[in-house]
Structure 1
Amino acid sequence: MGMLRVMSRRGDDRLAWDEQKIQAGDHEALAAVREAERIFEQERSKGATAFRVADGKPIQRIDKFDATAEQIVLVPRVVGG
């Protein structure tokens, strides 16, 4: 199971997809992963930083969407003032 988490003022928004269902061609799972990729690209274009998070592994910064990731966390650009 994969998950995209987008940090915001409200906490975080989550979108999950099932990799096994994607491989089986499930239309809902394919739509979920396409939406996650769209959100990923949209947030990255606004300056968000993306990290791949997996239990027992070091957190890794990523620049491209990875549908096989256990969890992707997007942190918006921090603006100082």
Structure 2
Amino acid sequence: MGMLRVMSRRGDDRIIWDAQKVEAQDSEAVAAIREAERIFTDERKKGATAFKVEPGKTVERIDKFDRTAEQIVLVPRVVGG
């Protein structure tokens, strides 16, 4: 299972997909991963930072969507003033 978490002032929004079902071309799983990729791309264009989080491994900053990642966390750009 993969998960995209988008941090916001409401907490976090989550999109979940099953990589095995994506490989089997399950229509719901394919739609979920496409939505996750779209959100990832849109948020990165707005300046969000993305991290790949996997148990037992160091958190890794990423610039491209990784559909094999167990969890991707998007942190929006912080604007102060």
- Normalising by the smaller structure, the TM-score range is over 0.9
Residue 80 (structure 1) shift: 1.6
Residue aligned with 2:79, SS:
coil
Residue in 2 aligned with 1:22?
22
Counterpart CA distance in 1 for 2:43 and 2:79 is: 15
Residue 23 (structure 1) shift: 0.8
Residue 13 (structure 1) shift: 0.2
One-letter amino acid of the structure 2 residue matched with residue 70 of structure 1: E
TM-score for the superposition, normalised by structure 2: 0.98
Moved over 2 A (4+): none
CA RMSD of aligned residues (A): 0.4
Residue aligned with 1:65, SS:
coil
Residue 26 (structure 1) shift: 0.3
Unaligned regions of 5+ residues in structure 2, if any?
none
Residue 53 (structure 1) shift: 0.2
One-letter amino acid of the structure 2 residue matched with residue 20 of structure 1: Q
Residue in 1 aligned with 2:48?
48
Residue 62 (structure 1) shift: 0.2
Counterpart CA distance in 2 for 1:52 and 1:67 is: 11
Residue aligned with 2:36, SS:
helix
One-letter amino acid of the structure 1 residue matched with residue 64 of structure 2: K
